[in-house]
Every structure is written in C-alpha cells, then in structure tokens.
Amino acid sequence: MASVSLNATVRAESGKGAARKIRQAGNIPAVIYGHGREPQSLTLNARETERLLKGIATSSTVIDLAIDSKVARSLIREIQRHPFKRSILHIDFQELVAGETVSVKCPIVYVGTPEGVRLEGGILDQIMHELHIEVDPSNIPNHIDVDVSGVKLGKSMHVSDLTLSAGITVLDEPGATICVVAAPKVHADTPAAEGAPEPELIRKPKPDDEK
C-alpha cells in the first residue's frame, strides 16, 4: 500500500467567495468527509499539493492528511481543475475507517510478453489501464499485476481470468476485456509475399500480333 503525507489547515469560511480568496493566496480549498464525521473544510498549499500529486496514483494512494495536530488517513475522491489552466480548484478527501472496505481504481501493470507477440508477430492492445476494486484500506495494492505471457494471437484476457489476492473484490464486469493480442495490420502498399509469382499481364493484342 502506497501512502504519502500532506499538510492541511481547518478553515471556517465556506462558499465561492471564500474559495476564490483561498486560491488567490496560493492555496487550494478542500473538504474531508467520511463515516461518522461531519464534512470539514480545509485549506492546502497549492505548490506542495501539485508537487505531491505528480508522483502518485491519486485514485489508490492513501493520504495521511495532517490537519493541525491530528492525522487523518484518507483517499482523494475528486479533483476539480480549471478547464483551461488545469490548476486545481478543489479536492475532496474521504477519511478511511478501520474495518470498512473502500472502492478504489488501481493501476494495471502488464507483465511478460504474450506468446502471440513473441512467436506470431502480434500486437498487445492494452484496453484496460486500471481495475475497479473493493478492499480494506490497509491492503490497497500499489498496482495489479496482469501476466499476459500465455495470451496467443487473436486471444484476449477478461476480468474473469484474473486471480487476485484474498480480500480484493473486483467491481468491473467479469466479461470486460482487459487486453487482446491482435494480428498486425496489413497496409494496402505492403508488397506481396516473397517468392509469389507475379500476376500475368493481360492486354488487348495489337493488329500486328493478330497476323
């Protein structure tokens, strides 16, 4: 389980006007909520937060949120960004409670070279890049390894083919395709197979030929 730390301070003011002032001061408005607690408005340092988010999988990394003198283990549930500037406008955190499972989207790491690629020149098409799972917060994996070494040309892997650690429940549809080994595309200008006979030239005979 990956975890990082981030500082936050409690803020009393709320609303659009207060959020605008927070951003102008170089900070990010945020909120933390969870089972058994009232939503709490927070302020984050924008530079520190942006730097942290660049190096983690935001959907599955546990954030140890230091709120004044207390630490709350949490997950990021939503990041709102400016549509053009892409700066962060607001972040929602969910506090984690021991014994309560949470749903997270965990990155997929493809392991091995498929048989259809290695022996038959196929191409691995990675359709899914993350897996939606339900798990205890203490057992959230950094990523899900998917071994594709046995996939042959023209074959695919589905969610139902996965074998995961105990305590992890997959929320994606069992029939969802994870990846497929496809045949390489043949372009129209690809030359004919080596050694194949050239096509016979058919033309209308000239008058001299008829004689």
Condensed to tens digits (0 to 9), the pLDDT of residues 57-97 reads 888 899 999 998 889 999 999 999 988 888 899 999 999 98
Q: What is the pLDDT of residue 208?
A: 56
Which residues 6+ apart lie within 8 Å of 32 measured at CB? 8, 39, 40, 42, 65, 67, 72, 74, 92, 93, 94, 95
Domains annotated on the chain, with CATH: 3-95 (2.40.240.10), 102-182 (2.170.120.20)
Please give the model's pTM, rounded to 2 decimal places. Answer: 0.73
Are the C-beta atoms of 73 and 137 separated by less than 8 Å?
yes
Work out the average pLDDT over 105-134.
Answer: 95
Burial class (CB in 10 A: 0-12, 13-18, 19+), 111: exposed
Which residues 6+ apart lie within 8 Å of 45 measured at CB? 7, 26, 27, 28
Residue 31's DSSP bridge partners are: 41, 92
Model confidence band, residue 192 (pLDDT cutoffs 50, 70, 90): very low
What is the C-alpha separation between 23 and 42, in angstroms, rounded? Answer: 12
Q: What is the pLDDT of residue 193?
A: 45
Are the C-beta atoms of 31 and 19 separated by less than 8 Å?
no
Q: What is the pLDDT of residue 38?
A: 85
Q: What is the pLDDT of residue 17?
A: 82
Model confidence band, residue 174 (pLDDT cutoffs 50, 70, 90): very high
Q: Which helix (H) or strand (E) holds 210?
A: helix 207-210
**Dihedral sign computed on CA atoms, order 99, 104, 109, 110:** positive
Mean pLDDT of the chain, nearest integer? 86
